[in-house]
Amino acid sequence: MEPIRVPAEMFRFTSGDRAGLYISVLHAFTEANERLETALSLDDLRARLRAVGRLEALEDEDLTRALGQLREWDLVDVNQNHAENYLTAADYERNNLQYSLTRRGEAAFAGVLHALSVLASTGALQTAVLDAIADRLGDLLTLLADDGADRRIFTTVMELEGHLEALSTNTKQFNGELQRLLRADGADLSTFHEVKAATVAYLQEFVTNLDQRARTIEARIGQLEEHGASRLHLRALRGADLPKISGTDPGPEWLAHRQARWEGLCAWFLPPDGARPRVEQLRLVARRAIITLLQVLDRITESRRRASSAVADFRELARWFTVLPAQDDLHRLWATAFGLSSARHAHLGHPDPELVSSSATWAEADPVAVSVLLRSSGRTERFSRTGRVREVAAIKAARAEQALAERAQLEAAWDMLDTDGRVRLSHFGKLDHSVFERLLDLLGKALASSPSAAGTRRSTTSDGKIEIVLRDPADGAVAQLITPRGRFSGPDYEIEIRAFGGRQVKEAAR
């Protein structure tokens, strides 16, 4: 980025004793400009000053001096007006001088106004802005297809830039406010609580919605890039109809601006070199803020409880520690007051404690196995306890076997059901129960699907291997299937059951 350089003396008028007057004068000029009066005489200016709320009397001399100063800073221009009909010499002297704002003056005052508006505004993260960006991108995509829409492309590009600007200013301000909120401690606690809780809710909502919208925008940017952003901008330039006021062609500069903004948009959502999009940073900031805010809330709630008495307790404890005579008493006081000491337990036990009666004395029971080495050389064998590893080989094998069996059963059932062409449901006649269950399952699936125009219903098993095609019986016949557990009756569908893959090979081989 280019370093920012402000022309010298541009904002001098905002400070010093007479700043109020200067600002009023510039304000008056801007107001007049809005009514398309660009040059003001002293008298006009005086009237305008009253209109912008400067009511106190003002000597001509003061006003002239102020204008002179503004002129010196290159904010105001003066020229002589010879076009009027002057009646007297005094009139001529008074009114022939006409003042107007220079370009720099306009900019300086606009800068002040902008600064004030930033001061007054509050930042917010709005999903609506994201939606608007996505919409405008979508519009551009449709407009690109239309040859005569240069003007609309222009306005849409402008709108898009406006929304992007809103997004980045809002985010900047919101982040600023968020960080200030995180820093501010010891404010009024109840409002603090409320504000932070509300902010957390707001952020959570925003983060939840962020992802999906960012994806949409990203996709649309990608599509536009395929068309070529520079072509888009060229057409927008044609639609803009820029006037050539100052002699040079404004086109290249305008295009450069558009390009810069477009890059800005890409940086937010789809950076070209695979860098992290700024929108993701936004999500990170939001997440972190949620966590920090919650922590601060917890901390406040916690530290409000018995804060003062804790200080007193610590001090009193220090005194107690000072006066207790024995070292052991110190340790006992520590252990009782802080409750931080470890438990202590034996680690050697009998492999099966239940073998020893609970009414036996310790002397009667066997001693635990103390390493022999420890007694003879003062060292324990250095192999650590083996971890508890379960013997899983058998379980694994059993499971694999079971899976194989199930698979085989399934294959068998499919074989039984494979109709090898179109048959009626009644064709099955007698069926094994497990096979019948498969068939019922398939029928259910097929019936759950909606029939095609020809009245066939089609479905496949969830693994996609078996397909069933079902047609309603034309004659309204009723089929009966008999299984070991009972009798099933229903419409006599025309059924075709096919297996994909291996089955066809088998058929071919047949």
Restricted to residues 287-346, the positions that interact with other proteins (CB under 8 A) are 291, 294-295, 298-299, 302-303, 305-307, 309-325, 327-346
Q: Cβ 398 to other proteins, closest distance in Å?
A: 11
Q: What own/partner pairs with CB < 8 Å and gap ≥ 24 does 155-160 have?
A: 155/239, 157/232, 157/233, 157/236, 157/258, 159/132, 160/133, 160/136, 160/265
Q: Cβ 407 to other proteins, closest distance in Å?
A: 16
Instruction: Pick between residue 307 and residue 454 the one whose CB is nearest to other proteins.
Output: 307
Q: Is 78 in the site for other proteins (CB under 8 A)?
A: no
Q: Cβ 378 to other proteins, closest distance in Å?
A: 4
Instruction: Pick between residue 15 and residue 376 the one whose CB is nearest to other proteins.
Output: 376
C-alpha dist (Å) from residue 231 to 16, 146, 150, 162, 317: 50, 13, 11, 20, 78
Subset of residues 161 to 190 that bind other proteins, contact rule: CB under 8 A: 185
Q: Using N-to-C axis directions, what is the helix angle for 150-183 and 229-240, rounded to 10°? A: 110
Q: Is 380 in the site for other proteins (CB under 8 A)?
A: yes
Q: Is 397 in the site for other proteins (CB under 8 A)?
A: no
Spatial distance between the Cα atoms of 62 and 77, rounded to a whole number of angstroms: 17
Q: Is 350 in the site for other proteins (CB under 8 A)?
A: yes
Instruction: Pick between residue 88 and residue 359 the one whose CB is nearest to other proteins.
Output: 359
Q: Cβ 304 to other proteins, closest distance in Å?
A: 10
Q: What is the 3-state secondary structure (H, E, C) of 269-320?
A: HCCCCCCCCHHHHHHHHHHHHHHHHHHHHHHHHHHHCCHHHHHHHHHHHHHH
From 53, 243, 378, 421, residue interacting with other proteins (rule: CB under 8 A): 378
Under 8 Å CB-to-CB from 129, ≥6 apart: which residues? 163, 166, 167, 170
From 1, 90, 348, 394, residue interacting with other proteins (rule: CB under 8 A): 348
Q: Is 371 in the site for other proteins (CB under 8 A)?
A: yes
Site pattern 216..255 for other proteins (x: CB under 8 A): ----------------------------------------
Q: Is 386 in the site for other proteins (CB under 8 A)?
A: no
Contact 173, 122 (CB under 8 A): yes
Instruction: Pick between residue 274 and residue 325 the one whose CB is nearest to other proteins.
Output: 325
Lookup: tokens for 341: 């000491």
Spatial distance between the Cα atoms of 268 and 161, rounded to a whole number of angstroms: 13
Instruction: Pick between residue 273 and residue 328 the one whose CB is nearest to other proteins.
Output: 328
What phi and psi, each to the nearest 5 degrees, are found at residue 470? -130, 135
